[in-house]
Amino acid sequence: MRWPIRRARLQVSVREAFQEGVGLPLERRLLRRWLRGRYGSATIERKGLPRRAMEESLGDRLTLEVDPRELIQSTDWRGYDRRQRPSSSRFLWDGEWDLRRGDLRFSSRYRFISDLDEHRDDLTRSESFARYAARLKAGRPWSSHQQGVLLDSEERILMYLRVYLSFLDDMAVRGFDGARGKDKLGVAVSREGRLIKINRGLHRLAMAQRLGLDSVPVRVMAVHREWWQHITGGATGQEALECVADGLHDCMPEQRPGELDPAEWPSEFDWPA
């Protein structure tokens, strides 16, 4: 595992260094050109506006507080052509991504956290332990190069599960700490101005949902172009940014299924007390 772990970490370091040294400075220049209405600004907006530079410009105004048990709809890419998926480097997202949703109450992350909580007195009885143990018995132990984890014994499986359980218990005592974790809880704004979860911080969100915390901070990473056009009313530059920042205060979590959902979910669900 040592070489795969080092390779994964090296790839991350190289990517982050490139973004800081090349990508972000270029994005800043593009955004400045758009803010000043210079030649090519219409093209920059049509291309989707550079996300990281937009995050710098809007700052904390992109962070919203939401009830985690209301944030139940997420993007679902199953059956969606990868070439049509919006780029994570853009702030404006086109397409039908917001109409294809999954229900986080029935997601693998929430089931995983709930499974550990329900079997905390004997994790060997959990579905998670059984799943990892089955892979171990079949000679295919689960591993993650990014996390540096290889579950090649029952002791390591239990240790891995206890780590997640300790995170849950720490959150129960200390509350949600936005500084912990590699990524912020990312969301995107749909064409209707609703918040939809994207694939960042899903385990921590599942913990907050399991515990029934009052609120968690989420970070707006992208908005649908149709919502952008509606909220800005044709404004550009700094005026458009102010319109977006003000409009985000009215964005609430989406709770309805989407028109193009690739799966159907049960109609009834009860949160634990």
Bridge pairing between strands 149-150 and 143-144? antiparallel
Terminal Cα distance for the chain, rounded: 41
Quickly count helices (H) and strands (E) in the chain: 10, 10
CA distance 225 to 94: 6
Dist CA 244 CA 224 (whole Å):
12
Contact (Cβ atoms closer than 8 angstroms) between residue 260 and residue 99? yes
How many other β-carbons are positioned within 10 Å of the β-carbon of residue 64? 21
Q: Rounded distance, CA 92 to CA 101, Å?
A: 18
Distance CA 268, CA 233 (A): 39
Query: pTM value?
Result: 0.88
The contacts of residue 193 (CB under 8 Å, 6+ apart) are 227, 230, 231, 247, 250, 251
Phi, psi values for residue 224, rounded to 5°: -70, 140
pLDDT value, residue 100: 95
Task: Look at residue 107 and give its three-state secondary structure.
Answer: coil
Helix residue ranges, H only, the chain: 2-18, 24-35, 41-46, 51-58, 108-118, 127-137, 154-174, 202-211, 225-232, 237-248
The whole-number pLDDT of residue 136 equals 97
Rounded Cα–Cα distance for residues 15 and 31 (Å): 21
Q: What is the pLDDT of residue 5?
A: 43
Per-residue pLDDT of the chain (273 residues; tens, 9 = 90+): 444 445 545 554 545 554 555 578 999 999 999 999 999 999 999 999 999 999 999 999 999 999 999 999 999 998 888 888 999 999 999 999 999 999 999 999 999 999 999 999 999 999 999 999 999 999 999 998 777 789 999 999 999 999 999 999 999 999 998 777 667 899 999 999 999 999 888 999 999 999 999 999 999 999 999 999 999 999 999 999 999 999 999 999 999 999 999 989 888 899 998
> What's the rounded Cα separation, in Å, for the pair 104 and 165?
19
Give the pLDDT score at 17. Answer: 54
